[in-house]
Amino acid sequence: MSPARSSSASTALDYTKGITLRLDAYETFLKANQQWRRKVTYLQITPKSRSQIAEYAQMQQTVDTAAGRINATYGDVSWSPVRYVNRAYSRTALAGLFRSSRAGLVTPLRDGMNLVAKEYVAAQDPEDPGVLILSRFAGAAAELRESLLVNPYDPEAVGVAIARALEMPIIERQQRHSALYKALLKNDVSFWGDRFLSSLTGLDYFAPHEDEPGEVEQPPLHASGQLSAAAE
């Protein structure tokens, strides 16, 4: 039996994040891949947001119901397919959870940059990295092209991507992560800021990075939690 593996998602409770469709995709994955039952757990971290608004309270109930349905259908006394929590975690804890997850699901229906996708990549062990599953409608998809890009409105396709991520050979995972990490280094906050100002003013605020930045050593993830991880 292969070791247990996990997939994770950290997101605010919001209409744009596609949480219910994400759970539908995970359920589709479980239906189609019986060999993964009892071997994989999906962790959904969703801090409460605007719970005093009726529509958001209803959305939380819908997500609660979906997670409960999956656990009731596929779980047993020793295994819960979904771990669904409604509290915030520290940066250190989130970075550790990202690092230990074989797959990271970032599948908003529509989003801006979406830093969670980049934080997941940055948190990985380059020797044994996880696989980023990313909505093609997230802004980060334009530069994180070596992730598994999916249509979040298609649960079956996302379910297939989950299976592919969990079964991906380590060499391919390393190659994808290396390319993703180089993209993070190339488009850092300074480069992004200079490019934004140049676009805004028409003036050249920066010297463009080289197309091939070369090999750069990835910093380790320290217990003190130097890497940032925030809600999507």
* pLDDT greater at residue 216 or residue 110: 110
Q: What is the mean pLDDT of residues 105-128?
A: 91
Hey, what domains does the chain have and what are their CATH numbers? 5-185 (3.40.50.2000)
> What digits encode the pLDDT tens for the residues 39-81?
999 999 888 777 677 777 888 888 999 999 999 999 999 999 9
**CB neighbour class for 201 (10 Å; exposed up to 12, middle 13-18, buried from 19):** exposed
Q: Give the contacts of 202 (CB within 8 A, at least 6 positions apart).
A: none
> What digits encode the pLDDT tens for the residues 138-194?
999 999 999 999 999 999 999 999 999 999 999 999 999 999 999 999 887 787 788
Cα 158 to its chain centre, rounded Å, is 13
Tell me the average pLDDT of the chain: 83
Among candidates 130, 136, 134, 121, which has minimal Cα distance to 188?
Answer: 121
CA end-to-end distance (rounded Å), the chain? 34
Specify the pLDDT at position 8.
61
- Count of C-beta atoms within a 10 Å radius of residue 222: 10
Range from 67-76, 107-116, 193-202 carrying the lowest mean pLDDT:
193-202
DSSP secondary-structure letter at 223? T
Specify the pLDDT at position 66.
94
CB-CB contact of 4 with 40 (8 Å) = yes
